[in-house]
Structure 1
């Protein structure tokens, strides 16, 4: 069994209404890129993801168990170092719209850097000041990024160890 790399948790910046987490992953930047940029790989650790393409402007959805379908759009892409998504996530609005709502959506960006022994990944999600309950949404997403990224680290590191064996 592979021991997962221990990483610190997400932090909230109330001044910028953002959540940030920087982690280390004992896997190549290419493996981590696939995990954050390819829908079939994202679906294995995050929400079930469907996109109509892979470039900037591609749209689709992310679905979580016992939750609505969330509209999603790629905002920026610089393979294999940066990918940014915009998504709806304001629970207080009731039923989520079928397309990304610019007025209440947030943006999360993954930045990847090669480091000794693997990849450093930073995620920053911003725009919570546009949601109906900014502080509550910040806290909810802080705990969410901890949970989801820990799942991704375990998955990617175990696959990297298997392919290296």
Structure 2
């Protein structure tokens, strides 16, 4: 498996960023970050009601329950942005994705020698109840989840 650097927090910009390399073509990585059946294998169990901008659904994690999710941007096969509600401290949010307590994460893919560079930036932590705690929580989360993505794609499991 390709070794990658850890995520980085920018407290001033309220962002978490991680850039990784994956030994696979852009098309395979795109599938792994946009198709619910593949996202569910490395991230949270994902259900979307469609494809592209405006698609809504949920991402479910065993320890956190179901989180509303919406596709904000879609530039196949180079860039996709999701908005999700994920601020536990705000309590139960109404159905659907809300601006308060939500952040956005963007996957940007680029072809490189030997595979794909994937840049992930999550922003909007200033909209959460405890930005510093949430930044750190998501920093460690991106490290764990993106390592699973690399393993999945490099083993060819995104081909199945």
TM-score normalised by length of structure 1: 0.93
Contact 1:71 1:97 in 2 (8 A): no
Residues 16-59 of structure 1 deviation map (CA, whole Å, 9 limit, x = unaligned): 10000000000010000000011111000000000000110110
Contact 1:68 1:96 in 2 (8 A): no
Aligned partners of 1:98 and 1:68: how far apart in 2?
A: 14
Aligned partners of 2:138 and 2:85: how far apart in 1?
A: 13
Aligned to 1:25: 22
Aligned to 1:44: 41
Query: Displacement, 1:103?
Result: 2.1
Question: What is the correspondence of 1:1-165 to structure 2 with a 5 Å cutoff?
Answer: 4-159=1-156
Aligned partners of 1:110 and 1:118: how far apart in 2?
A: 15
| Number of residue-to-residue matches in the alignment | 159
Structure 1 runs of 4+ with >4 Å offset: none
* Alignment root-mean-square deviation, CA: 1.3
Aligned partners of 2:120 and 2:33: how far apart in 1?
A: 10
Aligned partners of 1:45 and 1:94: how far apart in 2?
A: 26
